[in-house]
Structure 1
């Protein structure tokens, strides 16, 4: 466990030692401001839209984190942990923690904006429960996004241009999946593997408050999606080797 935790810490330190986080966070702040710059704002609508933005930002972070991985240091860490799978899971945990950090920004931003507007930002008072449910949905949306971003790993697809375009198309499809299926329902046979971020937004459409049953559904489908794409990445890396 010590080697596992050390690997996670090492990856966090490596990522923060670069400037790769600056652009995604800057884009996220602009997107969040676009939601909360006018009032009144729906509490549930704004938090679920924020989860979509965090999903996209974490696709970006997941892809750039994979680009940072050096084959030599990766092999050293795998040898130290005595398991390639453990190393790959530690990378997933690192990205999950990054997603939680980004989600915290997604939660604090509207709180600060609401305080600045003297509690007049939302169409109803903001509750602690809203922030907690919103944080968990954002965190799991981020996990789903980062897992998708990891598919662009250089060892899975050595052509960076192809990898970036493919990942971008998958992310866009995930966001627009509900609209696509409404027009062409038969595509559900294929698109079920795409991360269900649009399903989550549809789940809470028109809601005034979060409910435990709908939040549980959102948690489950986002978690399963993230685990599926993580498994695909691990199998791809094990098959490709070094």
Structure 2
């Protein structure tokens, strides 16, 4: 357990020791400001839009995090901990923590904006329950995005341009999936493998408040999907012996 936490700590230090976090952080703040710059804003709608933004943002971070270490460095660390599964799992945990940090920012931002507007930002008063439901949903949305971003790992596809293009194509398809299926329902046969971020946000369409049942279902769907994509990446790398 100590080795695992040490790996996570090492990867966090590696990430924040570079300037890789600066651009995603700036983009996140711009996106949040774009959501809450006008009023009144729907509570559920705005938090679910934040989930989508965090999903896409973490796809970006997942892609760039794949380039953080050279092949030799990864091999040395894997040999040191004597477990490829442990190393790659620690990387997924690192991305999950980055997603939680981003989600915390996305939750605090509207709270601060609402306080600055003296409670006039939202269509109805913002409740603690909204944040308690919103934060976990944002966190697992971010986790799913990071897991998808790691599919572009060089060990799975040496051609970086192709890998990145394929990954972002999947991400865009995931976000627009509901609209695509509405116009072309037959594509459901193919698009069931796409991350269900669009399916989850559609669950909350027209909702003015969060409910335990829907939030629990959405949380489980996103978490399982993120775990599946993480497992696909890890098994793919272990099979290739990277």
Query: Normalized against structure 2, the TM-score is what?
Result: 0.98
Which residue of the partner structure matches residue 214 of structure 1? 214
Q: Secondary structure at the match of 2:193?
A: coil
In the alignment, structure 1 residue 105 sits paired with structure 2 residue 82: no
Q: Secondary structure at the match of 1:68?
A: coil
Where do 1:59-208 residues align within 5 Å?
A: 59-208=59-208
Q: For structure 1, which segment, 95-104 or 185-194, has the greater mean C-alpha deviation from structure 2 after superposition?
A: 185-194
Which structure 1 residue ranges, 4+ long, deviate > 6 Å from structure 2?
Answer: none
Distance 1:91 1:27 in 2: 23
Distance 1:233 1:239 in 2: 10
Distance 1:54 1:112 in 2: 19
Indicate if the aligned counterparts of 1:41 and 1:121 stay in contact, CA closer than 8 A: yes
Cα shift readout 1:82-107 (whole Å, capped 9, x = no counterpart) = 11011111110000000000000110
Indicate if the aligned counterparts of 1:43 and 1:124 stay in contact, CA closer than 8 A: yes
Cα shift readout 1:3-23 (whole Å, capped 9, x = no counterpart) = 000000000000000011111
Which structure 2 residue ranges, 5 or more long, are not aligned? Answer: none
1:239 Cα deviation after fit: 1.8
Which structure 1 residue ranges, 5 or more long, are not aligned? Answer: none
Query: Normalized against structure 1, the TM-score is what?
Result: 0.98
Indicate if the aligned counterparts of 1:51 and 1:141 stay in contact, CA closer than 8 A: yes
1:69 Cα deviation after fit: 2.1
Distance 1:225 1:165 in 2: 21
1:154 Cα deviation after fit: 0.9
Indicate if the aligned counterparts of 1:3 and 1:80 stay in contact, CA closer than 8 A: no
Q: Please report the RMSD computed on the Cα atoms of aligned residues, expressed in angstroms.
A: 0.8
Distance 1:33 1:135 in 2: 18
In the alignment, structure 1 residue 7 sits paired with structure 2 residue 7: yes
